[in-house]
Amino acid sequence: MNSRSPVLRASAEVDAPPDEVRSWFLALEARPELYQSDTHGGFVFTEGSFGETGAQFETREWLAGIRVRLRFQLTTVGEGSCAFRLLAPPLAVWGAFEIESAEDGSSRLSLLIGGENGCADWFLRLPLIRGAVQQQIRREVSHIKSSLA
């Protein structure tokens, strides 16, 4: 993950152990449609393979009612997290999924978004951008949680 602090975060308690949450993510390689929702058109790998550092993928998402195509690159893939950076549009933005164990055997799933520099952090804090991205990442985490129920 990026060493900078996230600007935005969406988290949820998931009624599944971390291994099951990780397995859900790994299943996306064979079934990427599991990630599709009413605001997210899923993803397609354009370079490299699923789970491979450096691999690139595209998504189609609806942000504030506008359909956008985003291109990302996986920067790290670990046991309980994966991080990515935005390639297009060309903004210095990073993101990461984190899966943490909770005391009761469940998990805490988080999606973090931040800037790679002060300018990108500022951009993410603009009210319209912040609101649209925060709403989207909340919906993504909620979708994953309900998919695991």
Q: Does the structural domain 8-148 have CATH classification 3.90.400.10?
A: no
Residue 54, SS3 per DSSP: coil
| pLDDT (0 to 100) of residue 57 | 93
| pLDDT (0 to 100) of residue 63 | 82
The domain locations on the chain are 8-148
Report the sign of the C-alpha dihedral through residues 63, 39, 74, 145, in that order: positive
| pLDDT (0 to 100) of residue 62 | 85
How far, in Å, CA of 147 to CA of 2, rounded?
27
How far, in Å, CA of 145 to CA of 149, rounded?
7
| pLDDT (0 to 100) of residue 3 | 57
Q: Are strands 93-101 and 107-115 parallel, antiparallel or unpaired?
A: antiparallel
Mean pLDDT, the chain cut into blocks of 10 residues (149 residues total): 82 95 88 82 86 91 87 93 94 96 93 96 96 94 92
